[in-house]
Homo-oligomer: A and B are copies of this chain.
Amino acid sequence: MVVNNKVETLAFDLEAGHGPGAKAVADSGARQQQQRQAAPAGMVQVELHKVSAPEQRTTARALGQRLAEIFFPDDPLHQFKNQSLARKLVLALQYFFPIFHWGSNYSLRLLRSDAVAGLTIASLAIPQGISYAKLANLPPIIGLYSSFVPPLIYALLGSSRDLAVGPVSIASLVMGSMLREAVAPEQQPILYLQLAFTATFFAGVFQASLGFLRLGFIVDFLSKATLTGFMGGAAVIVSLQQLKGLLGIVHFTTHMGFVDVMASVVRRHSEWQWQTIVMGVAFLAILLGTRQISARNPRLFWVSAAAPLTSVIASTVISYLCRGHGISIIGDLPRGVNPPSMNMLVFSGSYVALAVKTGIMTGILSLTEGIAVGRTFASINNYNVDGNKEMMAIGVMNMAGSCASCYVTTGSFSRSAVNYSAGCRTAVSNIVMASAVLVTLLFLMPLFHYTPNVILSAIIITAVAGLIDVRGAAKLWKVDKLDFCACVSAFLGVLLVSVQVGLSIAVGISLFKILLQVTRPNTVVMGLVPGTQSYRSMAQYREAVRVPPFLVVGVESAIYFANSTYLVERIMRYLREEEERAAKANLCGVRCIVLDMSAVTAIDTSGLDALAEMKRVLDKRGIDLVLANPVGSVTERMYNSVVGDTFGSDRIFFSVAEAVAAAPYKAQP
């Protein structure tokens, strides 16, 4: 782009700067430039653009900017700029308690919408709360407690308008399976309960500190692909567990693995109970059917939303009428609001480590779900959710919950969707829901006495069925096979080994993929795209042509300790292959390697050493090594280190085209 010449001529006839058509251009404008004799004799001057380095900054300033980029990329305080002190105080209050933000504009019209939505999700939350508590091996009442206090706290602190807060299936399942490994809930119910509350407390502490330290990006490490696999596997495991309730089996395995559960189901076929099976299958069909109706016609969302509570009522009536026929029922539930549970938190003894581990696991899983749900609906409704602030809200909610007989809660996918469909406008719908749960806790508990356990199993299966995302997995297969492998591995890990193993596989694969990306970055041989002065990957642009005796290599990654050795070896291999090609075709060999650094986003000391080393080796073989278009941070580092001296500014070019044009030998495309 520098040589002022007809573009076509330049591109195809790449003796740019040497051929008869080329001439030097005195450039207009105030830009910095560098004039350099391209070849010793008989050549005209090529005008080259200087490669700038970014402005010099002091160490403290550079570090400060770097840290600000890491921890405050979204500049959360920008609204505080240029405001009066009083206004800043109001803004701060609104920042920490979003309720003050939307509360001042709250109206009766909004309340009507929120009340409808709140009652709708309450009708879901009550049966689901009871069911999910059972999934975590906890007394059913804990599920209702957890649907009362946390939503109230979230309404104060949370910034999502659509989140419906309460217990969720995945976190319940993981907590249940992790705690059961150490403590049998049937034999030591008090200890188990203590551990559950303690784990909830640590989950809250973990979540709040992630938010406070602005480390929210840790949640992003669970890639969507592995999450799809993990959730699918967990959903299957949860559904299999429900076979106990659906078939009316009394003595069921406490293991979670696919093989154990199926073996147990077959071995205990003498315990199968036809009454329970009939009732279970019937209600499961109804629940799944209503889900289908709502899925096909979103305006009928209330059909599937009302189905669980209706089923509970209907089945309770049936169960009451048929009492004495052996259908297992929930039994007595205590009446009254959440008792305090501060005294049940244990911070010493051999089980603390388990509680911490369980807390972190369930904490990160519930955070992943809550943040994802919040972001999804925020984006649909076009408002912003600050991930780090949400984490603090969810964390505080769980810490408070653990002191009020609640276990881990977060924003639920399914109930938030219903909340949204039912027309919620603000977090007041959570307050309405909590009030409905309060009424239930105070007055309606005896009504659940005859509720059959089988209906809870049916509700759980219906809820988790939505987590099996076959279409998502198919899309992964189409777009990215490695992602698909990760998804399947996580799925099989959960299904065949254990939930923890599945989760570890998911995280492990996600990390391995990152590391692989880092250690084995892409490199491409580039050629000139005809009709342009741009060099592009020859694998991508098949019309691109080589320009011997130049070998143009593009490196598509930061160069640093984890890949510098690899990159040097890879470039040397390109060189070897190119020379073999040239020898076969009886052409002259490579005289100059041009490294296109456009995509080299950073370089560290190992990377600089590797470049210097490569230059030394190539020098011995009489081959030039020049760099094209290094980005700001790389340029800065090059000029700051000895490598800059090794290369010298006359080996660093604005673009590949200028590097080729400036060389003292002719390109032969």
Contacts and interface: CB of A to CB of B under 8 A. Distances in A.
A20 B84 CA distance: 51
Contacts of A601: 517, 521-522, 556-557, 599
A605 B561 contact: no
Contacts of A529: 31, 49, 654
A220 B606 CA distance: 10
A449 interface: no
Nearest to A74: B569
B223 A562 contact: yes
Interface in A589-622: 598-599, 601-602, 604-606, 608-609, 613, 616-617, 620
Interface stretch (A4-12, A252-260, A433-441): A4-12
A116 interface: no
A285 interface: no
A558 to B, nearest CB: 6
A11 B536 CA distance: 22
A79 to B, nearest CB: 11
Given A562-B221, A601-B522, A515 B514 contact: yes
A530 interface: yes
Interface in A554-595: 556-558, 560-566, 569-570, 573, 576
Contact of A517 (B4, B569, B602): B602
Contact of A617 (B4, B382, B598): B382
A522 B632 CA distance: 10
A605 B479 contact: yes
A308 B35 CA distance: 58
A223 B2 contact: no
Interface in A519-544: 519-522, 524, 529-534, 536-537, 539-543
B641 A540 contact: no
Contact of A531 (B29, B220, B524, B637): B29
A186 interface: no
A52 B573 contact: no
Interface in A227-259: none
B30 A543 contact: yes
B217 A54 contact: no
Nearest to A221: B562
A220 B11 CA distance: 41
Interface string A618-650: 001000000001011101010011100000000
Nearest to A3: B7
Given A522-B633, A529-B49, A641-B479, A543 B609 contact: no
A462 B518 CA distance: 38
Interface string A351-375: 0000000000000000000000001
A219 B392 CA distance: 38
Contact of A605 (B31, B225, B599): B225
Interface residues of A, number: 112
A8 B573 CA distance: 40
A6 B479 CA distance: 42
Contacts of A28: 8, 12, 531
A530 B29 contact: yes
Contacts of A521: 601
Interface string A490-534: 000000000000000000001000111111111010000111111
Interface stretch (A62-70, A326-334, A401-409): A62-70
A629 B554 CA distance: 14
A78 B91 CA distance: 67
A75 B573 contact: yes
A299 interface: no
Interface in A289-306: none
B30 A382 contact: no
Contacts of A59: 481
A379 interface: yes
Given A30-B543, A475-B605, A563-B220, A1 B1 contact: yes
Q: Specify which of A576, A631, A635 lies most central, judged by the most chain B CB atoms within 10 Å of its CB.
A: A631
19 contacts: A2-B531, A27-B531, A31-B530, A31-B543, A49-B532, A52-B540, A52-B542, A70-B520, A74-B569, A74-B570, A220-B519, A220-B562, A220-B563, A221-B562, A224-B606, A514-B518, A514-B562, A517-B558, A556-B631
**Nearest 9 pairs of A and B residues by beta carbon:** A540-B632, A223-B561, A556-B601, A599-B599, A1-B532, A29-B530, A31-B543, A217-B519, A224-B606
